Chain A
Amino acid sequence: MTSEEIKKIVTEKFPDKLKEAKIFGFEPTFIVEKDSLLDVCLFVKESKELAFDLLSCMSGADYPDRFEMVYLLFSFSRKHKMSLKVQLPKDNPEVESATAVWKGADWYEREIAELFGIKFKNHPDLRPLLLPEDWNEGYPLRKDWTGKDFLKMPDVK
């Protein structure tokens, strides 16, 4: 299915919950409202025409005014792709866990939770994944993080 056709199906189903964005190589991209994330995820996975069965990658990003979660989806049966984004507020970022839809989200969310400090509601087991057990120096992938060994490289012009 082409990206235009996917866009049409998804926007028809959720006319007022989506905004468009762009990720090169994974079009179409939508910014989903936080509360309807699980509905959209379930729809794109269960829908017969879309059938996005693989959560290819999941990532977070820290922007000056918001956190952003990115879900990159691929369908093995239909060979098409799309991506979803959710924007979260800076204070107390919290979002529904996608493990209810794709089990593969489990470790991605554990990683994001410890590195960005984003909370996932209804996640089965949100233990830290990569950092040491006694880590108490904050969330390293946040832009304002500085550890005691962190050395900033000089800017390049």
Chain B
Amino acid sequence: MNQEISEIYTEEFFVNMGPQHPSTHGVLRLLLKMDGEVVLDMVPHVGYLHRSMEKIAENRTYYQYIPYTDRIDYVSAMFCNQAFCMAMEKLANVPVPERAEYIRIIMVELNRIASHLIWLGTFSLDLGAITPFLYCFREREKILDLFEMVCGQRMTFNYMRVGGVSRDITPEFIPMAKEFIKYFLPRVDEYEDILTNNPIFLSRTKGVGLLDQKTAIENGVTGPSLRGTGLKCDLRKDEPYSVYDKFNFDIPTGETSDVWDRYMVRIQEMRESAKIVLQALESLPEGPIKTKISAVFKPPAGEVYLRIEAPRGEMGFYIVSDGSPKPYRLKIRTGSFSNLTVLPIISRGWKIADVVAIFGSLDVVLPEVDR
């Protein structure tokens, strides 16, 4: 007996995390090389949700593909709609009426809040705080009600069209949206009361998962995760698309680039988005909501790459058109795809429980990675 015990020794071992794991929010498999509880190396395996979006696009007309874009990232479907339609407008030079641009911005910014709410809820749930999860979904429900009022859908909207939006907002929408913003801003303070200075939350997030700016840019990290490293970069300000140049808002950035900073950036972004929505609602111009274009949409032959600032970083569409009603080639660039590549680098040396916090702080949505 004693001899057997003396033969036990410590060694490095592998742990398989996923594909079905409560903290991956989708289907992601992480292969971890462990030394006790410390992660030495990690290999992410993706592709479980690969739906061949890019091949499908080559086999559909441009109009038929708009509902598919909803499914790229169902948490922030308005952004996928907007990016795709804007790429088409750029390629075919279709003007968008001003009212449509304003409505788009109201919708995407509400969607950004909804997306960050999901992130905040699930992220805090991963760290063991259940209350914020319930609070976040309570507020998100109100945003989904607003979306339902406008386009009849709660998740996959199919709302935007090439040259505008599919239908005008109803008269009841504006007071309801204003009321929501008034209700929502104190709620953000409430989340902060629960989390921001909570000692347990701080010990799980402060100084954990440091992502330095150089590594982030090298690996193509964008969005709030990059702003968490202190870089002031936001496509809405860097190259203002749509009518973002008419609104007054700030770009929150972090300082120490840890998990807590990425959390703080998103919390503040929700406030900024609420600010934009309120400004857009107040200055919403009258007029048409859609430019009339032909029933079969044939953009001229050419190539376009257009990107927008989605909640998870840059979302871009690279489209090659050969002048036919179907795209010749369509490539979707998503924020999560590049943001996930950095996970092994920033997880090394942390405990396995921290991997959950670090992964949560990157806000990766798996269908967006696999497409």
A→B interface (CB under 8 Å): 22-26, 53-57, 59, 61-62, 70, 72, 76, 79, 83, 102-104, 106-107, 115, 128-132, 140-141, 152-153, 156-157
The verdict on B350 contacting chain A, using a C-beta distance below 8 Å, is no
Tell me whether chain B's interface is mostly helix, strand or loop, or mixed: mixed
Q: Is the CB of B296 within 8 A of A102?
A: no
Sample of 10 further A-B pairs with CB below 8 A, known A23-B305, A104-B220: A24-B306, A54-B222, A56-B314, A57-B305, A57-B307, A57-B333, A72-B316, A115-B54, A140-B52, A156-B61
The interface centre, meaning the residue of A24, A103, A106 with most chain B CB atoms within 10 A of its CB, is A24
Known: A24-B91, A57-B316, A156-B61. A104 touches B218 (CB 8 A): yes
Chain A residue at minimum C-beta to C-beta distance from B232: A76
Tell me whether chain A's interface is mostly helix, strand or loop, or mixed: loop
Residues of A within 8 A of B47 (CB): 128-132
B→A interface (CB under 8 Å): 46-47, 50, 52, 54-55, 59-61, 87, 90-91, 217-220, 222, 231, 233, 238-239, 296, 302-307, 314, 316, 318, 320, 324-326, 328-329, 331, 333, 337-338, 341, 370-371
The interface centre, meaning the residue of B239, B302, B303, B325 with most chain A CB atoms within 10 A of its CB, is B303
Q: Is the CB of A25 within 8 A of B306?
A: yes
Bound Cα distance A41, B287 (Å): 47
Residues of A within 8 A of B370 (CB): 130
Q: Is the CB of B50 within 8 A of A130?
A: yes
Bound Cα distance A55, B302 (Å): 22
Chain A residue at minimum C-beta to C-beta distance from B220: A104
Q: Is the CB of B302 within 8 A of A76?
A: no
Q: Is the CB of A106 within 8 A of B316?
A: no
Chain B residue at minimum C-beta to C-beta distance from A111: B337
Bound Cα distance A106, B219 (Å): 9
Residues of A within 8 A of B324 (CB): 156
| Contact partner, B307, options A53, A56, A59, A62, Cβ 8 Å | A56
Q: Is the CB of A62 within 8 A of B55?
A: no
The interface centre, meaning the residue of A56, A57, A102 with most chain B CB atoms within 10 A of its CB, is A57
Chain A residue at minimum C-beta to C-beta distance from B239: A79
Q: Give chain B nearest CB distance to A138 CB in angstroms.
A: 12
